[in-house]
Amino acid sequence: MSEDYNCMPMHSHDKHYYDGDWQAPSGADTIEVLSSATEQVVGRVPRGSAEDVDHAVKAARRAFGSWSQVPVEERAQWLEKLAAALKPRVPQIAEAISHEVGTAIGYSKKVQAEFPVMMVGMNARFIRNAKLEEELGNSLVVKEPVGVVGCITPWNYPLHQVVCKIGPALAAGCTVVLKPAEAAPLSAFMLAEAAHEIGLPAGVLNIVSGDGPVVGEAIVTHSGVDMVSFTGSLRAGRRVAALAGDDIKKVCLELGGKSAFIVLDDAPFDKAVPAGVNNCMQNSGQTCSAWTRMLVPRVRHDEAVELAKAQLAKLTLGDPFDPDTRLGPLSSARQREIVLGYIEKGRAEGATLVVGGGRPASLPTGYYVEPTIFSNVSPSMTIAQEEIFGPVLSVIPYDTEAEAIRITNDSIYGLAGGVWSGTKERAMAVARQLRTGQVDVNGGRYNPLAPFGGYKKSGVGREIGPLALDEFFQLKAIQQ
């Protein structure tokens, strides 16, 4: 562990945040937050109950009437104040998430901390520019806030995923009850501190920490919750959708991915293949949209594998607080075992292990897995079909462009992907045939204005950008 982070202060919170203040939990049980690099306790938060959720939802319900009527400009200003209060906390947020998730500190500062803070402020601009009323014939169609929104977020990008939900929800005039991931809750409590500091009206943002089966399900089933926005696994998403369906609640689900990156035969392999490796390995593979399947022409398969191997060698695995580290540990011992289990399946099913495949001997402490490449992967293999959520790349050969498109679309998921060709026109033609929510063409840069979400079992609804606001509105037609 790098010297500057050897003595990370304990982030201990013994209260939930709801109704505009810190509230004692109904029970005394707590959740220990572990560092993924040291396996030591770095924080504690309350293990909430259905009773705590009930208090938080009632606070949100009371606040909704007034918050939904707050003028758009005033709501936008509150978001800007919240972003300003979060900005000085960026170093602390990045440090906490690097411990919780294993994210390398450089990536953590930019992506896990600075970007979400920026997104809070961006939602102020989105709501200012939103068209909330439209005349259609003799009707006035009005967009109104959906109500109290229950938000349940994952551990891999803990603040980012929170902001993707609460930013547009608050901008739209909704109030929120949030359950952060139990494995990575610390940044949510820093968000609560910032909200309290600026005096955000009581009940607008409410946070109850705890586990999914108790706190998560209490939020989803509470009669005072009008909508549920969930990000997590397909298994958990099915459960959320089923529970919400009993009350006919609106749901927004951002679930898994098994994204493919098609390298066409006329692509510049020296640029395309390294870009594909970097995308797959971001956040040590703990990214739902990561390009974990690299499709390459069969006649150039071996060339692509060598380029991938060379690029992977540049991505240093190690202490997430070392500035030279590109890949840190995984988030937990459980996640490490899941990933190692998939690697064993890849071997057993006949894929060729090119590099990696185990726990690094030089890093006996921490939840590390060697970054791994499999070649000669068949599209039907488990590692080509199921989400691994770790640093594992599958290189899949294809014979024709049509076959590459078919392999890409032969997945229960459809979250993201990429195409690289020698010409933009050819890449765009392929991109239009992919059944997926986002596609990057020839190294297209990330766009924070673009909607994010998936086809098929990758989810329902969209997050990020101005179009994300629509998830938090109901439509009312007033005939005149």
Q: Would residue 288 show up in a list of annotated catalytic residues for this protein?
A: yes
Q: What residue spans of 8-149 are helical by DSSP H?
A: 50-67, 72-86, 90-101, 105-107, 115-129
| β-pairing verdict for 372-375 and 440-441 | unpaired
Query: For 61, what's the count of Cα atoms within 13 Å in the CB-facing half-sphere?
Result: 12
- Residue 169 CA to residue 229 CA, distance in Å, equals 10
| β-pairing verdict for 139-145 and 133-136 | antiparallel
> Which run of H or E residues covers position 384?
helix 382-385
- Residue 251 CA to residue 229 CA, distance in Å, equals 6
Q: Which residues are within 8 A (CB) of 464 and not within 5 positions of it... i.e. 6 or more apart?
A: 119, 164, 448, 449, 450, 451, 452
Q: Are 133 and 142 in contact (CB under 8 A)?
A: yes
DSSP string, 421-433: -SSHHHHHHHHTT
Q: Which of 95, 100, 254, 463 is catalytic?
A: 254
Q: Would residue 174 show up in a list of annotated catalytic residues for this protein?
A: no
Nearest Cα to Cα of residue 342 among 308, 296, 378, 393: 393
Amino acid of residue 410: D
Tokens for 49?
């109950």
Q: Which of 100, 151, 288, 471 is catalytic?
A: 288
Q: Which residue has the tokens 């991109």?
A: 431
Residues that are catalytic: 254, 288
